[in-house]
Structure 1
């Protein structure tokens, strides 16, 4: 799947069943469903889920919490727009 195909899948009512947890969270976020996106990763502590969790809290505007999750993911908050970060994450997890 490409970034363009992933973006196109946002027209669907449900995410494709074979998506990983990070991609499913990003799919929901791409649909504007922040709560569903957060629910996908909120109970997980692996590095990939922590990275998505960080992005979601950054998007929410909760920078302190976002930075906590970036540290858990062993990364720092990127100096890019939220849209660029979303695209980078989708590309990474595809």
Structure 2
């Protein structure tokens, strides 16, 4: 699945959430306007990609100090662009990771 297919699936509610890795599940919930569900999904996740999405979510809510903590945990630099750009960048990278595994 590429970024455009992911966006289309979001629009048409055609994604099976059980098939998505945790970070993409969280991004899905964020993109449909459910920040709380996205955050709850990541609450106990310990992998670096989940930490990366967790950082984005806290940046989105305006909690920059907490976001910085999660960027450090993810090993990723703090994003300097717009939130939509960051979400798209993270989603693209996570989808590429899925392709490499398959």
* C-alpha RMSD of matched pairs (Å): 1.3
Q: Does 1:43 align with 2:40?
A: no
Unmatched tracts of structure 1, length 5 or more: none
**Contact preservation (8 Å) 1:15, 1:24:** no
After superposing on structure 2, the runs of 4+ consecutive aligned residues of structure 1 that deviate more than 2 Å are 11-15
Q: What TM-score, normalized by structure 2, do the two folds share? A: 0.85
SS in 2 for 1:76: coil
Structure 2 counterpart of 1:57: 58
Q: What TM-score, normalized by structure 1, do the two folds share? A: 0.92
Question: How many residue pairs were aligned?
Answer: 94
SS in 1 for 2:19: coil
Q: Return 9-18 or 36-45, whichever deviates more.
A: 9-18
Distance 1:2 1:10 in 2: 12
